[in-house]
Structure 1
Amino acid sequence: MLRNVAAGDLSPDAALEKLKYFAYEPVEDFARVDHHRALRTGFPEVIWGLDKTPEQIIKIFQAMSAYPCVMATRIAPEVYAQLQQHLELHYYEQAQICATTTLPSVPRYPGQIGIITAGTADLPVAEEAAVTANLCGFKVQRLWDVGVAGIHRLLNNRDIIAQSQVLIVVAGMEGALGSVVTGLADVPVIAVPTSVGYGASFNGLAPLLTMLNSCATGMGVVNIDNGFGAAMLAGQILRTGEKLKDLQLSEPN
């Protein structure tokens, strides 16, 4: 393929399209690292730490060592203690994320992701979203503990809603905050139900159903406790906005 490109028989763009689905690397008999995911989707593969052994996580990190930033989610403190004996990692305990780099001081992409929580107990899921977005190169603005039980706390911070291009709303219990924020915002809202609550919250099922049944338009919903997925979706929304801007600038008047 490279010889065909060099000879002019295949364009670089056509070769890139073929390479997007070309390679993965087996890691013993338990994993296949998808090295070309960043080419296809814009973001590299991320290691799901839960239910993997520390030894498996270490070997996957080593297989991905050439990447500028490799991250793993759902890493408990005791697992990180074992990983750091073999790898040089940075750990974000509340988010339960470890990565080969620190959080960038300057965002790689324009735009801001606003992340809002209903309560302090929602912070682990919200921090998973925030750290994921930061490591992927996005600016994040946090607004914690502004749930509907004291709605004035949210209304007093409407500037964060106004300044953000995408919003992530993290809420447990009955999950009403997503609808409230969506009713105030003119940007996409990604609602994340959490398993925080008791009784009829059913470990996050109640807020999930509340968010899915919302009458506020412009809100999408990810799965229970899925802060990582919300951050990746928010990032794709911002990147798509940039693509549309570039397309508009390239089109003739």
Structure 2
Amino acid sequence: MITRIDDVAAAQVLAAVPGGVHVPEARLLIWRPAAQGQFTLGVVTAGTADGPVASETAAIASCIGMRVLDIRDVGVAGIDRVLKRVDDLRACHAVVVVAGMEGALASVVGGLVACPVVAVPTSTGYGAALEGVTALLAMLTSCAAGVTVVNIDSGFAAAMAAYRLTQALWPSTQ
């Protein structure tokens, strides 16, 4: 797996090492993905601008054997959108929330589900979003207990944290 690769470099690597798959939106190259396991990861975005980080998260999770439930554009500005997906979220073994602006979606999801929640602040947003710092600080101070927060724009870290959490919580089902 190669992360954060642009299209030109991906083409060069694939020419030298054939057999890989390039996932452009996720900026990822993959060889020999793991077989699909039994853990489902929900990948939730607040808005469409969070898509590239969510795509990275979903592609990494899929590559390491997790099933992915992709739920896009359910930010708190239209809270009814996330509330319509509560049953889907509660069926997941872990959820990654990808959100910029003020990062409030992580707290909302953290309050709705009992499974591990990993929050990824994104550098999207305007005004006082401060390239993701506002969302990062909001996620770190979430009143939904136990929300794990990773680096700004780090879909890779989020997928790996969710994977490790599921493996630690349900080791006998590996």
TM-score bin, normalised by smaller chain: over 0.9
Alignment of 1:92 with 2:92, yes or no, is no
Alignment of 1:237 with 2:165, yes or no, is yes
- The amino acid across from 1:178 in the alignment is A
**Correspondent of 2:139 among 211, 217, 239:** 211
C-alpha separation in 1, matches of 2:96 and 2:14: 31
Paired position in structure 1 for 2:9? 79
CA RMSD of aligned residues (A): 1.3
Count of residue correspondences = 172
> Residue 52 of structure 2: SS of its match in structure 1?
helix
Identity %, equivalent residues: 45
Determine which structure has greater relative contact order: mean sequence separation of CA pairs < 8 Å that are 6+ residues apart, divided by chain length: 2
Q: Which runs of 4+ in 1 moved over 6 A?
A: none
The one-character-per-residue Cα deviations of 1:78-131 (angstroms, maximum 9, x if unpaired) are 111222221112100110000123x56x51x32211110001110111111111
Alignment of 1:224 with 2:162, yes or no, is no
Paired position in structure 1 for 2:60? 132
1:1-253 to structure 2, matched below 5 A, reads 71-88=1-18, 89-101=20-32, 106-107=35-36, 109-243=37-171, 245=172
> Residue 16 of structure 2: SS of its match in structure 1?
coil
C-alpha separation in 2, matches of 1:234 and 1:191: 10
**Superposition deviation, residue 241 in structure 1:** 2.3
**Is the Cα–Cα contact under 8 Å of residues 114 and 142 in structure 1 kept in the other structure?**
yes
- Point out the structure with max Rg over C-alpha: 1
More off after superposition, 187-196 vs 151-160? 151-160
* Structure 2: stretches of 5+ with no match in the other structure: none
**Is the Cα–Cα contact under 8 Å of residues 191 and 211 in structure 1 kept in the other structure?**
yes
C-alpha separation in 1, matches of 2:88 and 2:7: 32
- The amino acid across from 2:4 in the alignment is R
Paired position in structure 2 for 1:49? none
C-alpha separation in 2, matches of 1:166 and 1:81: 33
**Superposition deviation, residue 157 in structure 1:** 1.1
**Is the Cα–Cα contact under 8 Å of residues 193 and 223 in structure 1 kept in the other structure?**
yes
The one-character-per-residue Cα deviations of 1:23-80 (angstroms, maximum 9, x if unpaired) are xxxxxxxxxxxxxxxxxxxxxxxxxxxxxxxxxxxxxxxxxxxxxxxx0000011111
